[in-house]
Amino acid sequence: QVLLVESGGGVVQPGRSLRLSCAASGFSFSNYAMHWVRQAPGKGLEWVAVISYDGSSKYYGDSVKGRFTISRDNSKNTLYLQMNSLRAEDTAVYYCARDEVSSPSEYFQHWGQGTLVTVSS
């Protein structure tokens, strides 16, 4: 079955960087677009970024554009999110999610369990 496992979360100071990973299994990773979605404590869902199946296309939400970079390594079945210049408002659980198509974007049947990022001094 489809399995998405995020890692790399933790506590980080404002202005610092963090890289999240999402290890995928149970499907042909290189055939699907992949997303990051986040959820601040007690708040709603916010779409962060998407990358196409081959990494050639990447799109970002306005709140992270210019600071976050999505990437993937299809040889390792792994999705990444490089987060730079972190702010307190980036504090959230970060989910990776699999698109239903190869090129962005549709909806999500499959989600990881999430990894918590806390930005605090």
Partner 1 sequence: DIQMTQSPSSLSASVGDRVTITCRASQGIRNYLAWYQQKPGKVPKLLIYGASTLQSGVPSRFSGSGSGTDFTLTISSLQPEDVATYYCQKYNNVFLTFGGGTKVEIK
Smallest gap from residue 15 Cβ to partner 1 (A): 27
Nearer to partner 1, 91 or 108 (CB): 108
- Of the pair 30, 59, the CB lying nearest partner 1 is at 59
Min CB(14)–partner 1 separation in Å: 26
Distance CA 73, CA 53 (A): 10
Where do contacts with partner 1 occur on this chain (CB under 8 A)?
35, 44-47, 50, 57, 59, 61-62, 95, 100, 104-109, 111-114
Residue type, 72: R
Q: Which is nearer to partner 1, 20 or 112 (CB)?
A: 112
Q: Identify residue 49 by its one-letter amino acid code.
A: A
Minimum Å gap between C-beta 121 and partner 1 is: 27
Q: Which residue reads 């190869």 in tokens?
A: 102
Residue keyed to tokens 């890289």: 19
Which token pair is 99? 């698109």
Phi then psi for residue 30, to 5 deg, are -70, -5
Amino acid at 87: R
* CB-nearer residue toward partner 1: 44 or 66: 44
| Least CB distance to partner 1 at residue 82 (A) | 20
Q: Which one, of 50, 117, 58, 57, lies nearest residue 90 by Cα?
A: 117
